Amino acid sequence: MKAILQRVSRGSVRVEGEILAEISTGLVILLGIGPQDGESNARDLAERVAKLRIFPDEDQKMNLSVRDVGGEALVIPQFTLYADTSKGNRPSFTGAAPPDLASPLVDHFVRELSSWEIPTQSGQFGAHMLVEIWNDGPVTISLEN
């Protein structure tokens, strides 16, 4: 399981021109699922995200978590995190989990993150999405589980 976290002042996702979800201060999480991933990976990654201290304290040091600042999360399913670009100019995505495995694990990750008292929304699995990310800092962190 791979995640790209972006600390944001706001974020949203649109599907077919309609806003599906939007957040203010918090994290936009681009989430990729591998074929070997399971519910324990989702649980462990959600805990790491919930506890990750990447928000500034009163001294502008990254000492606070998304929970500490009362932030929200927006999870965007993104199989392209498993792109293999080692051969040629066209990425291969065979390293990503198939949709019947990946979709339920994205939902499980969202539930696990929500269980940490972080208001969490998500994009639509398999849809063409337009994601708006107002990266704050900018701060971008890559996690793999």
Domains and CATH numbers, the chain: 2-136 (3.50.80.10)
Give the three-state DSSP class for 2: strand
First to last CA, the chain: 5
Q: Is position 6 annotated as part of the catalytic site?
A: no
Q: Is position 78 annotated as part of the catalytic site?
A: yes
Q: What is the pLDDT of residue 145?
A: 86
pTM of the model: 0.96
Q: Which of 6, 78, 120, 121 is catalytic?
A: 78
Q: What is the pLDDT of residue 137?
A: 95
C-alpha torsion sign, points 41, 47, 50, 51: negative
Beta strand pairing call for 18-23 and 55-56? unpaired
Beta bridge partners of 21: 13
Q: Which of 55, 79, 120, 121 is catalytic?
A: 79
For 72-127, how does the pLDDT look when each residue is reduced to its tens digit (9 = 90+)? 999 999 999 999 999 999 999 999 999 999 999 999 999 999 999 999 999 999 99
How many whole angstroms separate alpha carbon 76 and alpha carbon 104? 13
Q: Is position 36 annotated as part of the catalytic site?
A: no
Asked if residues 121 and 21 have their Cβ atoms less than 8 Å apart, the reply is: yes
